[in-house]
Copies of this chain bind each other. A is one copy, B any other.
């Protein structure tokens, strides 16, 4: 069934194989040669589509941030009525995203794996961040959240959720937080506490 010689969609196929590979073997098991292998192509073929390994990883990360953005947007749009409720949902969605694809999440956050031209990546990351900023603006417009700079407050929220995700992934929590339910309740505790701190008084 497979086209002989010319592949046709190797660029895409490499990205797909790469995403699968990183999920299966983690960031450290990720090699260009194995990506090529899994895409059914010689190990030199990828060089026609990516300058080097770092470039492939960067493209993967860009796509991952786009997926994160979509996840956050969906979560935001399909959640409860109150703006603050929606903000909390965003936090939960972030942690879930991280825990559902731990290695991919790790790869997104390892700048040293990527190539030196970070514009695309930063733009994709920024786009995901904007969802959070918008949600905070919404809360402020409704008079529910203090009137600090939205992007500063967003960074506060992002820090808390990112920290929780990273701690859970690195297994440092020293908490028996392995079951999805426990993770969920921890995430709720973090978002809840944070929200209390953000509310107008």
Listed in ascending order, the chain A residues whose CB lies under 8 Å from chain B are: 26, 28, 109-112, 122, 125-126, 129, 148, 151-153, 155-156, 158-167, 170-175, 186, 189-190, 192-199
Question: Which single residue of chain B is at the shortest CB-CB distance from A151?
Answer: B175
Chain B residues near A148 (CB-CB < 8 A): 189
User: How distant is the Cα of A197 from the Cα of B192 in the complex, in angstroms?
Assistant: 8
Closest chain B CB from A28 CB (angstroms): 6
User: Known contacts A158-B163, A162-B167, A163-B163; can you find 19 more A-B pairs with CB under 8 A?
Assistant: A111-B171, A125-B174, A152-B189, A155-B164, A155-B186, A156-B189, A159-B161, A159-B190, A160-B160, A161-B163, A162-B163, A163-B166, A193-B198, A194-B197, A195-B197, A196-B197, A196-B199, A197-B197, A197-B198
